[in-house]
Structure formats: C-alpha cells, structure tokens
Structure 1
Amino acid sequence: MSKKKILVLGSNGFIGRNIVEYLSPDVYDIYSPKRQELNLLDTQAVESYMKKTTPHVVVLSAVNIKSLDENLIMYFNLERCSDHFGKLISIGSAAEYDMKNYQPMMKEDYFRKHIPSDTYGLSKFVISNDIESKPRNLVNMRVLGIYGKYEDYTRRFLSNNICRALAGMGISINRDMFFDFIYVNDFLKILELFINNETAQRNYNVCTGSPIRLSEIAQVIANTHDKDESVLIKQEGLNPDYSADNSRLISEFGPVEFTKLETAVQELYDWYKNHPNIEQICTQLREAE
C-alpha cells in the first residue's frame, strides 16, 4: 500500500518544523520544500510543483505576520491548484475573530461578527472566509495559543518566561487574564486526525476549551524551576479572555486527551535547559531587558 503524500509548507517556522518532526516517514511521504525550492509567491512555480507532486494533503503553515499581500498570495496560489491535491489544511488563528473584540469561549459562528484590522488577523480572516464560502477540499484549523519548542522565546509567553527563569530574571506578566493554551504535541495529534479523516465543516476551533489564568501558568513555571522564582504582575485587573469553544471539534472527532499543563511545562523547560545555545538565549534576554 502506497504511503500518503503530505506537503508541509512553512517547515522553517515553529509549527511547520514541529509537524515535519512529528509525522512518521514510515507512514507518510513527507515533502517540506524550503523557499529556495518552492516560492509560494510564484503562481506558476506553485502550479508546476503541485502537478508534479500531487500531494494527498497540503498543510499550509507558512505565514508572514507583517504582510497581508504575501499571506493571501500564498493561499490563493494554492487554492487555484485544488484539482492537483487531495485536501488543503490551513493553519488559522483566533485572530480571525478580531483581537479587539474577543469574547469568552467564542464559537465558530462568532466568525464575521467583526472584521480584524491588523495585518495578520485580516489575512487569516480572508483565508478562512474563502474556505467557508463553499464546500470543497479545503479546511481551516483555527488554533488558539499554541506553544512548544521552536516558538519565538523573545515574545511567546511560556517560552519567554521559562527562559527568563533560566536567566535568573524572574517571571513577568503584563496583566493577568484567562488564556487557552494548547501544547504543540496535542495540536499535532489533532492535525493527524484532520489529515486522515474527512471533515463535516470547513472551520474548527482547535483549543483545549479550558482557559487558565496566566498567573497560574506562571506559578507552574516557577514551581518547575530549580530555584525560587518571583512572579511579577505589572498591572492590576484582568484583560479580556482569550478562549474558544471546542465542542465542534470534540463532537466530530471524539474526546482529546490534552497533556497536563505541569507535564508540558516540564518538557518545554527541560528542552530549553538542555538547549545547546541556552547561554546565548539567556544573554539575549538580559540585554533586551
């Protein structure tokens, strides 16, 4: 039996790199071209590549958070080639709901209630809206708060504070809030369900459905660290929740066993602690303080 061909786009990035590492080459034929091999902004190059490889599944995790144009060109260059692949899975974001108008436990039908005004959110909105517009071989995973190895430790809450702890800088929160984080390992298990199953809907919230206070997460990081670590909350009060309802996902695919926060934090902490460049990472954070 031939293996399913999976094309992962954006394999240099946080999510794409994790996807390529996770998918077993014993089960899948994995294609992960770099930009030099496939320029997603080149319409003819994309069409030629798709005709040549005819992947069963395309996973679009490539993104430029600063460019509306590039994100849309990449997507529509792929969308127009939908006859040459089995299915496209776009990695979306809750930014599609508009970050200025988040509500607690947003459901998929909250989409289009507000139009994002930021570059990243608007690009993801347009892509998601196009996927929603008609039934075809495209689906959007609207992911909330994904974290794990390879993320940007200079700005992502968990990795940044783990590295701050390792650098002896203390753990810092601008303002407390309830936040739904999903560990990248759990996201990958859900992605594999999307790879191997047809979906009834076009858009799915991908999250735990159980938001946690940032201060609670910070305390878990502090407890994981070898030394006593202070937690500084810079502003009083609470920011609006960042959370969504995952009942559509669960009702279709069944219950998901999410990794306990303490386990995930310990794994990520150990990964950074044993990172060959941890001293440079700590120095970089200290100098930026």
Structure 2
Amino acid sequence: MKKILLIGGTGYIGRNIKEYLESLNYIIKSPTSSELDATDEKKVRDFLSKEYYDVVIHSAVDNSCTKLYKDNSKVLYNSLNIFYSFEKNKKLFGKMIYFGSGAEYNKENDIKNVSEEEFGNSIPKDEYGFAKYIIAKQIENSDNIYNLRLFGVFGKYEHWKSKFISNACCKVIKGIPISIRQNVYFDYLAIEDLCKIVEWFINNKPKFNVYNVTTGKSIDLLTIAEMINGYSVDKLPIYVCKDGLAKEYTSSNQRMLNEIGSFEFTNIEDSIKELIDYYNENSERIDMYSLLY
C-alpha cells in the first residue's frame, strides 16, 4: 500500500479525501499547519527528507471566496509559496497530485466545454486564477506532478455559507427562500466521485500532466435550486436577481475518460439527497444569520 502525504487535510477537499482513503486502509500522514509550514521551502525539505512518500496530495488552498473574515491580500503569494515549496523538492517524493481550477482559463470569459488544449489562450486577472495559471504552466513541464483541474465539486464539509449547492440545501432546511444572483451553467462533480478519481491517479501513471476533472455535463443553477426545493416542507420561492445567463463554467472531460476508462458518475439528484440528509443531521450547526446575510 502506497504511503501518502496529504497537505490541506482539514479543508473541504482534503478532509473528504482523507476520510475516503483511510476507509480503504491507505497509510496517510496529514500534518496541520502548526506541524508543517507548507509556505516555508526549507521546512518542507526537512520534513520530506525524514520520510519517503509515494504520493503527495496537495489540497491546500488559499481562496478568498471561503475566507470571508480573513486577510485575502496574500492569495497569490501563499498559493505560489506552498506549491513551489514542494515543486523544488519533487525528487524527495514519488509524485504529486495537485488540484487546479477551471479559473485557470480566465473566468472573465465564457468557459464552455473547454478542453485542456485551450489552456493559455487567456490569462486570468484575479489573484486566485492567476496563481492557479502560473502553477499549471509549471506542471505542464513536470515529470512527476499532475494537475487535476476542478470546476465545481460539491458535498459534505464544503463551505456552506458561500458555496451554492450547500447554501441552498441549508436554506431549504431552515425554510428560507433560495436566491440566485444570476442563472449560469456549471459542471458539478460530487465529492465522492472526485475521491474515486484521485485513487485512480494514486495507483496509475497518467499519460498527461493536466486533466479536466468534471462530469462533462452542464447543469444550470435554477435547475439545481428546483431539485433542492423539492425537499422543502412547503415549496419555497426561488429568486433570480438578474435576468439572462452569466458566463458558463464547463469543460470537456474526454482526456480523463480516455485514460481511466468507463466511469459511472453519481447522479446529481442522488448526491443532493445525500447532502440534504447530511445537513439535516447537522442542522444545529447552520447559522441562520449567515444564511440571511
């Protein structure tokens, strides 16, 4: 069984991956930030020198959309520091799985069924997207680092105060109408499917350095809201604040499917039902003030 180092294990993606892999008896070490300052290249080198890891999973993220009350001015600096602290020491581990973002394609434009070959046609203007873009460029020339480019991943442990699907689930449970700034098409992947895909990358040698990790199917927010609203005791209003459609955010997953073979994605209705059940079980943690304001 491969030995795995997980960075960002207390975050949404990392927590789910850790839970999933541990259920399969993988050997995982996931240091906290107090145990390993991943922004310090020397500390990362010293840490990696003590023990060999077959796989490093880099799920640490510095993203302003989930840091509503924190300093967001160092998103670019911290994101690059964490990545390059490991990239510089890549000879000390087998391979690294890094989670990129569809924001690498520049979210100021329509990102519609985009393929990996289209990367680089436009440079992101925001700090988060620009950091991901720089890192993706570096990974293109790496011999043991792989970029799993995520677009929309939803499920338990995500930041329900800001993430649409979880936020809508919590509102329905509390009897609050669902609001949508503007309808838009996304490609949403269930977190349980991402965990299975990550396991494939742990145990196989990919042909490419970069993969769009999506379902390959688009769905709009209004349709999702209507699905979620079906679980309300009384049918709640759904408010769409602005007419028309915002810029699309979807991708082709053909490169990934060509390599991993057939993959049965979880039906989004089933995943939403599971998420509703999860929030019902943890309803005491849902802060009404945060949902309203």
Task: Tell whether the 8 Å contact from 1:167 to 1:286 is kept in structure 2 after alignment.
Answer: no
Question: Does 2:137 align with 1:129?
Answer: yes
**Residue among 212, 217, 235 paired with 2:224:** 217
| Aligned pairs, number | 283
Amino acid in structure 1 at the alignment position of 2:284: E
2:243 aligns to what? 236
Instruction: For residue 239 of structure 1, report the CA deviation from its aligned partner.
Output: 1.2
Task: Tell whether the 8 Å contact from 1:166 to 1:282 is kept in structure 2 after alignment.
Answer: no
Amino acid in structure 2 at the alignment position of 1:179: F
Deviates more, 1:54-63 or 1:221-230: 221-230
Q: How far apart in 2 are the matches of 1:256 and 1:93?
A: 21
Amino acid in structure 2 at the alignment position of 1:117: K
2:48 aligns to what? 50
Task: Tell whether the 8 Å contact from 2:105 to 2:111 is kept in structure 1 after alignment.
Answer: no
CA-to-partner distance for each residue in 1:181-203, whole Å, 9 max, x for gaps? Answer: 10100111111111110000000
Alignment RMSD (CA, Å): 1.3
1:233 aligned counterpart, secondary structure: strand
Gaps of 5+ in 1: none
Q: How far apart in 2 are the matches of 1:176 and 1:136?
A: 40
1:72 aligned counterpart, secondary structure: helix
Give TM-score scaled by structure 2 length: 0.93
Q: 1:51 to 1:117 in 2, by over 3 A?
A: same
Instruction: For residue 286 of structure 1, report the CA deviation from its aligned partner.
Output: 4.7
Q: How far apart in 2 are the matches of 1:227 and 1:192?
A: 41
1:59 aligns to what? 57
1:155 aligns to what? 162
Instruction: For residue 126 of structure 1, report the CA deviation from its aligned partner.
Output: 0.7
**Residue among 108, 120, 123 paired with 1:115:** 123
Q: How far apart in 2 are the matches of 1:246 and 1:51?
A: 36
Amino acid in structure 1 at the alignment position of 2:49: K
Instruction: For residue 280 of structure 1, report the CA deviation from its aligned partner.
Output: 4.6
Structure 1 ranges of 4+ moved more than 6 A = none
Instruction: For residue 103 of structure 1, report the CA deviation from its aligned partner.
Output: 2.8
Task: Tell whether the 8 Å contact from 1:38 to 1:45 is kept in structure 2 after alignment.
Answer: yes
Task: Tell whether the 8 Å contact from 1:206 to 1:249 is kept in structure 2 after alignment.
Answer: yes
Question: Does 2:20 align with 1:22?
Answer: yes
Amino acid in structure 1 at the alignment position of 2:266: T
Q: 1:23 to 1:281 in 2, by over 3 A?
A: same
**Residue among 281, 284, 289 paired with 1:284:** 289
Q: How far apart in 1 are the matches of 2:292 and 2:188?
A: 28
Amino acid in structure 2 at the alignment position of 1:283: M
Gaps of 5+ in 2: 64-71
Question: Does 2:96 align with 1:88?
Answer: yes
Give TM-score scaled by structure 1 length: 0.95
Q: 1:166 to 1:246 in 2, by over 3 A?
A: same
1:205 aligns to what? 212
1:268 aligns to what? 275
Amino acid in structure 1 at the alignment position of 2:239: L
Task: Tell whether the 8 Å contact from 1:178 to 1:242 is kept in structure 2 after alignment.
Answer: yes
